[in-house]
Chains A and B, each alone.
Chain A
Amino acid sequence: MIEFKFPDLGEGLVEGEIVKWHVKEGDFVKEGDPLVDVMTEKANVTLPAPATGKVVKILAKEGEIVKVGQVLCVIEEVAAQEAPPKAPAAEAPTSQKVAAMPAARRLARELGIDLSKVKGTGPGGVITVEDVRRAAEELARQEKAPPAPPPAAVQPPPAIAQPQAPAAAQLPQPVAEEERIPVRGIRRAVAEKMAKSASAIPHAYHFEEVDVTELVSLRERLRQEAERLGVKLTYLPFVAKAVAVALREFPMLNSSFDEERGEIVVKRRIHLGFAVDTEQGLMVVVVRDADKKSVLEIARELNALAERARAGKASVDEVRGSTFTITNIGAIGGVGGLPIINYPEAAIMALGKIRKIPRVVNGAVVPRDVMNVVVGFDHRVVDGAYVARFTNRVKELLEDVGKLLLYI
């Protein structure tokens, strides 16, 4: 018997969420076969079977949060040759023991009804479409009904309590006016992290406008060169480079606040996080040591990371360990926003979209390319003046973009 424990995946990771089991109890697995999908921080990891054998017991349900070292399942080892080939029926759903008509199964999915809790009235107890409808109505009724009084409370006399129930039952109950979606996986990771950040960190914000006219023309000139090297070059890598350079000079923004020990932990290495919009939700991919990389290297790495994140293929290491995060709101639209800090970092920068708008230059109104930046910071760590100076430095490097050359 092998107790398969949730392995330590590195970097102080302590827990994960069971997203999906690839096997059922009683199934045979081959060593290396996908066993279970676990969501850690923000990456999905498929854990392979540690040995060939029979899955005797599954100890962590889908949706459950598990700690490193916790036993996930028990496998009874067998010699490789004894394992029978996986039967085709193994693909059949686990709901097989519930007898329900195909149309009833479909309706149950649409209404979010758990068939194992529905009483079937068809021949031999088979669940029909009507049974599913009835169950959905019952559920809607229960949700509308006031919560049951706590057991300690004085029960009202039955004579008064009784008329209420039939009255409620007679009301026509519309089915599924609202839908309840379990918060799982990345959505849950985002939700928890945002709540923690918003409640633990006193956020303050600094706004600035950056004239990127020069950057726009520079990037236009470099784009083809980059394309020849197989890299799609956007503005973001330039901003990232400028931020990385500025962070070297303003290290307090590359830090985190340790509440327990009352210390500010200043990070020596600059790992930039980039918010990526994926189908499953927000993910932050990490370009390590961004200050030591060229704009081209940052661009190449960022493109690859974003693609892997969108495909659900990002590894744990690729989505954790950032020290400062950039969120490019403007890529989708919007001139600015108030980002929530990527906990436990000390600051975050949001970029607005680049717009061509009139600005006064040398006394004349001329069209300029302008981008808003918003820096959100942990006011426990630094004060507004420090952030203003940091932002000025980023602005300077982006407006007089030739200066960036010194750091490449």
Chain B
Amino acid sequence: MKVAVVGGGPAGYVAAIRAAQLGAKVTLIEEGELGGECTNWACIPSKTLLRAVEVYKEAAEYLQGLPKIDWKAVQGRRWAVVKRLREGIEKLLSMNEVEVVKARAQPAPGRAVKAGGKVIEAEALILATGSVPAPLPNLPFGGKVLDTKSALLLEEPPNSVLIVGGGAAGVELATLFAKVGSKVVLVEVMDRLLPALDADIGMTVERELRAMGVEVYTSSTVLSVDDRGRAVSARLKTAKGEIALEADYVVAAAGRRPNPGPFADLVKTDERGHVVVDGQMRASAGWVYAAGDVAGPPYFAHKAYAQAKIAAEAALGRKAYYEPLAVPAVVFSDPEVASVGMTEDEARRAGYDAKSARVPLSISGMGLITGGAGFVKLVYDGNSGRILGVHAVGRRVSEIAGEAALLVEFGATVEDLALVMHPHPTISELLVEAAELAVGKPTHIAKRGP
């Protein structure tokens, strides 16, 4: 069985490895770098930079007179991490005997793909062509208007920056630049930051960003931007009227769009351009599969991994289906965000007796040690006690998202969780505390009232 994979990002390389593990002869075609957007330009670089400024900012509390941050060193570490990961992917592909063709791919007549002057015949094609930044209508990229990738490539942190888009990417960039002293203005069109997540999360993150000195404008839009070469002046329409401001740069972080490229002709796509797939990630042309961003939102690397494995297995005739109960979402703001499974509202709409139990970080040892605000909230079914979702904000909560996914996927109940010993002092203890609250016996929260 011959399988062609187009795209070498999280969806592409994982699909290639899984198909090879199942005995297929795999060709992977990538026009840029292996590892794709995530490894080279998005998740990994941004998290490396965020980690560096986290250390820098925290050190400030214990230093007298803060030295200037060495941005070259910070970027140097970023490239080292990226390079190591990319080489790892190259090695893995070669060890799995995946042929890698570095070229732009396009469909060829019959069941084949053309790349680098040769025609690659395949019985199955897996599209993993990802997504690209989508410019805002009145904010085309170029000059001082950057996409998130370019913002992470700046040689020096900007003195001031206007970030448009209060989703995960915008919030993370605001956190990054605020911590190294940039004047940051963050604009979001919806009425809160991180509008796709639990409302309490967005509100907490907004409060903490403001405390860090970020100017946040929700329910606001950019009316116009004037690139004057050395700086940009912008006019915003906010809830309190129009305001004008100046910044070194504008970062448009308000979204991405799928990138099916020439393969859009081969398969059905939705109105936004995503390849339409069935539960097995199969596209309308039955020999074509899609995984990752190009197959639809959310645009997460871990979702791409999961879909890629399903696509490869289905392409090789396995009865694999993509049907997760929990797609975890994490945001590396300060405090961090973890959101897994249903929100209370979603659970109610799905017909559950939706209940929630929420505990603040400040009741736990590690919560106080790491500092900052936050909470852990369990969403569960009042009838069965089944845990349906976990929504948390606070330093290090990204690390409990995995456990949260396990709880939801395994159908654990709040009773189960309350009975499982968790190590002290860790943030994960708050899951137990929330479960105890759900069953009515919280240890570290006193009952109020008589």
Chain B positions 321 through 352: 1 when the CB is less than 8 Å from some CB of chain A, otherwise 0: 10111010100000000000111011001110
Segment touching B, from A120-128, A188-196, A215-223, A369-377: A120-128
Question: Closest Cβ of chain A: how far from B22's Cβ, in Å?
Answer: 14
Expressed in whole angstroms, the Cα–Cα distance for A232 and B346 within the complex equals 52
Across chains A and B, which 3 residue pairs bring their CB atoms closest together, nearest first?
A279-B286, A312-B284, A99-B411
Chain A positions 108 through 133: 1 when the CB is less than 8 Å from some CB of chain B, otherwise 0: 01101000000000111110000000
Expressed in whole angstroms, the Cα–Cα distance for A95 and B321 within the complex equals 12
Expressed in whole angstroms, the Cα–Cα distance for A311 and B268 within the complex equals 7
Expressed in whole angstroms, the Cα–Cα distance for A96 and B386 within the complex equals 11
Q: Quick check: B285 and A109 within 8 Å, CB to CB? A: no
Expressed in whole angstroms, the Cα–Cα distance for A106 and B286 within the complex equals 22
Q: Quick check: B409 and A89 within 8 Å, CB to CB? A: no
Main secondary structure of the interface of B (DSSP, over half): loop
Among B270, B287, B325, the residue within 8 A (CB) of A34 is B270
A97 sits at the interface (CB 8 A)? yes
Collect the chain B residues with CB atoms within 8 Å of residue A122's CB.
411
Please, how many residues of chain A have a CB less than 8 angstroms from a CB on the other chain? 35
Q: Supply 7 A–B pairs (Cβ within 8 Å), ascending by A.
A: A91-B296, A91-B327, A92-B325, A92-B342, A93-B325, A99-B384, A313-B268
Expressed in whole angstroms, the Cα–Cα distance for A20 and B282 within the complex equals 14
Q: Quick check: B416 and A124 within 8 Å, CB to CB? A: yes
Among B268, B279, B410, B412, the residue within 8 A (CB) of A312 is B268
A100 sits at the interface (CB 8 A)? yes
A101 sits at the interface (CB 8 A)? yes
Expressed in whole angstroms, the Cα–Cα distance for A125 and B415 within the complex equals 13
Q: Quick check: B284 and A126 within 8 Å, CB to CB? A: no
Expressed in whole angstroms, the Cα–Cα distance for A313 and B275 within the complex equals 13
Q: Do A311 and B266 form a contact, CB below 8 Å, given A109-B321, A123-B416?
A: yes
Q: Do A310 and B109 form a contact, CB below 8 Å, given A88-B298, A89-B350, A123-B413?
A: no
A367 sits at the interface (CB 8 A)? no
Chain B positions 239 through 273: 1 when the CB is less than 8 Å from some CB of chain A, otherwise 0: 00000000000000000000000000111101000
Collect the chain A residues with CB atoms within 8 Å of residue B409's CB.
101-102
Q: Quick check: A126 and B411 within 8 Å, CB to CB? A: yes
Q: Quick check: A89 and B346 within 8 Å, CB to CB? A: yes
A334 sits at the interface (CB 8 A)? no
Q: Which residues of A contact B (CB under 8 A)?
A: 20, 26, 34, 44, 87-89, 91-93, 95-97, 99-102, 105-106, 109-110, 112, 122-126, 232, 278-280, 310-313
B319 sits at the interface (CB 8 A)? yes
Q: Quick check: B286 and A102 within 8 Å, CB to CB? A: no
Question: Closest Cβ of chain B: how far from A176's Cβ, in Å?
Answer: 11
Q: Do A96 and B350 form a contact, CB below 8 Å, given A123-B416, A311-B266, A312-B286?
A: yes
Expressed in whole angstroms, the Cα–Cα distance for A34 and B287 within the complex equals 23
Q: Quick check: A311 and B349 within 8 Å, CB to CB? A: no
Expressed in whole angstroms, the Cα–Cα distance for A44 and B268 within the complex equals 11
* Known contacts A26-B349, A89-B342, A96-B350; 15 further A-B pairs (Cβ under 8 A): A88-B196, A88-B329, A89-B343, A92-B350, A97-B351, A99-B384, A99-B386, A101-B409, A109-B319, A122-B411, A123-B412, A124-B411, A126-B410, A311-B284, A312-B284
Name the residue on B nearest A32 (C-beta).
B271
Question: Closest Cβ of chain B: how far from A182's Cβ, in Å?
Answer: 14
Q: Quick check: A311 and B350 within 8 Å, CB to CB? A: no
Per the 8 Å Cβ criterion, residues 308-327 of B in contact with A are: 318-321, 323-325, 327
Question: Closest Cβ of chain A: how far from B260's Cβ, in Å?
Answer: 13
Chain B positions 135 through 154: 1 when the CB is less than 8 Å from some CB of chain A, otherwise 0: 00000000000000000000
Q: Do A313 and B411 form a contact, CB below 8 Å, given A34-B270, A88-B196, A89-B350?
A: no
B374 sits at the interface (CB 8 A)? no
Expressed in whole angstroms, the Cα–Cα distance for A311 and B263 within the complex equals 11
Collect the chain B residues with CB atoms within 8 Å of residue A91's CB.
296, 327
Collect the chain B residues with CB atoms within 8 Å of residue A109's CB.
319-321
Name the residue on A nearest B342 (C-beta).
A89
Collect the chain A residues with CB atoms within 8 Å of residue B296's CB.
91
B45 sits at the interface (CB 8 A)? no
Q: Quick check: B284 and A313 within 8 Å, CB to CB? A: yes
Collect the chain A residues with CB atoms within 8 Å of residue B346's CB.
87, 89
Expressed in whole angstroms, the Cα–Cα distance for A125 and B323 within the complex equals 20
Q: Quick check: B411 and A88 within 8 Å, CB to CB? A: no
Collect the chain B residues with CB atoms within 8 Å of residue A312's CB.
267-268, 283-286
Question: Closest Cβ of chain A: how far from B269's Cβ, in Å?
Answer: 10
Name the residue on B nearest A89 (C-beta).
B346
B36 sits at the interface (CB 8 A)? no
B166 sits at the interface (CB 8 A)? no
B367 sits at the interface (CB 8 A)? no
